[in-house]
Amino acid sequence: MTLREVLQKGDFLLAGSAFLLTVLSLVLLNIGGNNLSFFFRQLFFACIAIPVFLLVSKTHYSLAKSYTPFLFVVLLLLLLFVLQGRVIRGAASWFVLGTLHLQPGEIAKVILVLVLAKVFSDRNKGKMEWKTLLLTIFYVGIPISLILLQPDFGTAMLIILIWFGMIIAAGLTGKQFGALFLLAIVLGIASWLFFLKDYQKQRILIFMNPGADPLGSGYTVNQSITAFGSGGIWGRGLGYGPQSRLNFLPEHRTDFIFARIGEELGFVGVISVFSLYGVMLWRMLYAAQKTSDSFGRAIAIGAFVALLTGVFVNAGMNLGLLPVTGVPLPFISYGGSSMLTMYLLVGLVESVLIHGETWESDDTDGITAQEIGEI
């Protein structure tokens, strides 16, 4: 399939929403600050992520199915490698290539969506079998353990939410849900007693009582809520938000960029951003309903859950509704790893929309890569 055919058959609502959110990210990083290095780096990331998105959209998504074991092994090696690397902000989560930082934990979202999609597509249809559930726990548990060792609690929690959303969609039973609930309680208690760092515990305590340390651990959350609430209906204007412009709001380019949107673009801007996310989520669900292939359907559902949880957790964190976990706002927060991850997921959904309607799972035996490329 040529690029022209991809552009003709692609879903412009899905791709267009992602592009508009990326443009907003570049505008926010270009306005209201003297340091333009963030803007140029984000532009560089976008110039890589968008062609990758087009390439993935052009390629038949089913090709990824046979490569999932290899991708899973590569992911584990990457996560093991970064544990020996440079510690930045208390975590060994990044490859450092000059001035560029790449985070394998973000890429793990894409690979695990593909791995889980393969597991679900290989099983019998109907309710979730216990052996299938245990297999998904194995595939997700090892990467999460390595990510927690970095430590990166926010990325680990997002991957857990993606896994949970996908197993629910795959037919999780009530008994299995109950068993997972009890397991979560046990793991939560064990994590608090033995694994969580002091600063991670402090974030949870501050979430429960933001006023306990307003000038210390609770400072960022309080400034975020103040910035968001000060925008009113129309906002203070791009670059004119005092909380972000004067750096009272920490991390206003990354984790707390949603608060900056509320401050500078107001309620109208927030609703506009949510509308774009809503369009993307709608098209992802449409892709899941459109294809008759279980692998493609699981990919679309995984991308849907990844986007939904990313937006929900970041917005909740900015509004003081959830603990601060360092989760980026998809397509908008500064960061190449997050942008590349989301464009990979959207590209896979585009591939499902383009190729999935002609795919019949009962006719896939013996199909070759050359035949797939000609579809």
3-state secondary structure of 271: helix
3-state secondary structure of 97: strand
Mean of the pLDDT values across residues 252-257? 90
Residue range(s) defining the domain that contains residue 318: 3-359+366-374
Partners of 88 in beta bridges: 91
3-state secondary structure of 90: coil
pLDDT of residue 338: 93
Question: Which residue type is seen at 245?
Answer: R
pLDDT of residue 3: 64
Q: Taking a C-beta distance cutoff of 8 angstroms, is the pair 299, 121 a contact?
A: no
In what helix (H) or strand (E) does residue 307 lie, and over which residues does it extend?
helix 294-318
pLDDT of residue 373: 42
Question: Count of alpha carbons within 13 Å of 117, Cβ hemisphere only?
Answer: 32
Share of the chain above pLDDT 90, in %: 55
pLDDT of residue 364: 42
Query: How many structural domains comprise the chain?
Result: 1
pLDDT of residue 368: 43
Of residues 66 and 213, the one with the higher pLDDT is 66
Beta strand 100-102 with 95-97 is antiparallel
In this structure, of 6-15, 174-183, 292-301, 357-366, the range with the lowest mean pLDDT score is: 357-366
Please list the alpha-helical segments (H only) found in 94-234: 104-122, 130-148, 153-169, 174-190, 198-208, 219-229
Split at pLDDT 50, 70, 90, the class of 167 is: very high
Split at pLDDT 50, 70, 90, the class of 1 is: low
Q: Taking a C-beta distance cutoff of 8 angstroms, is the pair 161, 305 a contact?
A: yes
Joined tokens for residue 66:
């046979």
Give the contacts of 7 (CB within 8 A, at least 6 positions apart): none
Question: Which residue type is seen at 274?
Answer: F
**Average confidence score pLDDT of the chain:** 85
3-state secondary structure of 95: strand
In what helix (H) or strand (E) does residue 351 lie, and over which residues does it extend?
helix 336-355
Mean of the pLDDT values across residues 56-79? 93
| CA angle in degrees (0–180, nearest 5) for 303-288-102 | 15
Specify burial of residue 246 (Cβ count, 10 A radius: 0-12, 13-18, 19+): exposed
Closest CA to 82 of 337, 354, 373, 355: 337
Joined tokens for residue 324:
């601060």
Question: Count of alpha carbons within 13 Å of 136, Cβ hemisphere only?
Answer: 29
pLDDT of residue 360: 47
In this structure, of 11-20, 67-76, 115-124, the range with the lowest mean pLDDT score is: 115-124
Specify burial of residue 370 (Cβ count, 10 A radius: 0-12, 13-18, 19+): exposed
**pLDDT tens figures, 177-223:** 999 999 999 988 888 877 777 777 777 776 666 655 555 567 788 88
Give the contacts of 67 (CB within 8 A, at least 6 positions apart): none
Strands annotated E in the chain: 95-97, 100-102
Give the contacts of 301 (CB within 8 A, at least 6 positions apart): 165, 166, 169, 284, 288
Mean of the pLDDT values across residues 149-177? 91
Question: Which residue type is seen at 187?
Answer: L
Of residues 123 and 171, the one with the higher pLDDT is 171
pLDDT at 374 over 50: no
Mean of the pLDDT values across residues 339-359? 88
pLDDT of residue 104: 87
**pLDDT tens figures, 274-298:** 999 999 999 999 999 988 899 999 9
User: In 37-67, which positions are buried (b, 16+ CB within 10 angstroms) versus exposed (e)?
Assistant: ebbebbeebbeebbeebbebbbbbbbebbee
Joined tokens for residue 299:
């990919």
**pLDDT tens figures, 11-64:** 899 999 999 999 999 999 988 666 788 899 999 999 999 999 999 999 999 999
Give the contacts of 341 (CB within 8 A, at least 6 positions apart): 106, 107, 109, 110
pLDDT at 328 over 80: yes
3-state secondary structure of 152: coil
pLDDT at 361 over 90: no
Give the contacts of 147 (CB within 8 A, at least 6 positions apart): 79, 93, 105, 108, 155, 156, 159
